[in-house]
Amino acid sequence: MAANSIDERSSSWTFLTHHARVLLEIARNPQTRLRDIAAVIGITERAVQGIVSDLHQEGYLSRSKIGRRNRYTINPDRGFRYPTESNVPIGVLLDIFTRHQRARDTDQTPRR
């Protein structure tokens, strides 16, 4: 097995939950479709619907209709759910990943 390949046993867990991944996809594109989120994350559209519903009910995001599409607004000041991190706003996590994404996007510009 190559040194840089992922060990099959280590792929059974991740640091971020599906809830966090859905929230990150919405942060990257507030008008994204649930089916697009599902495709990126690798879960069903129905699972994404349930997660968005959870996040909405708990005040992490709000939804508004623009034509036939939803637009999501994230509440970055809402704290994490786990008691030891409840005083940390989710905006911190979103900032880490969206800033990393912006830097990666910038690095992919064609060079002469």
pTM (2 d.p.): 0.78
Nearest to 69 by CA among 26, 18, 12: 26
Report how far apart the first and last C-alpha atoms of the chain are (Å, whole number): 36
Amino acid at 51: I
Q: Provide mean pLDDT across the span 84-111.
A: 80
Amino acid in the structure at residue 33? R
Position 1 confidence tier, pLDDT thresholds 50, 70, 90:
very low
Q: What is the pLDDT of residues 22-69, one digit of tens each?
A: 999 999 999 999 999 999 999 999 999 999 999 999 999 999 999 989
In the chain, what percentage of residues exceed pLDDT 70? 79
Strands 61-66 vs 69-74: parallel, antiparallel or unpaired: antiparallel
> Which position has the higher pLDDT, 1 or 54?
54
In one-letter notation, the amino acid at residue 35 is R
Q: What structural domains does the chain harbor?
A: 15-107 (1.10.10.10)
Q: What is each CA distance from 22 to 11, 54, 101, 110, in whole angstroms?
A: 19, 11, 15, 30
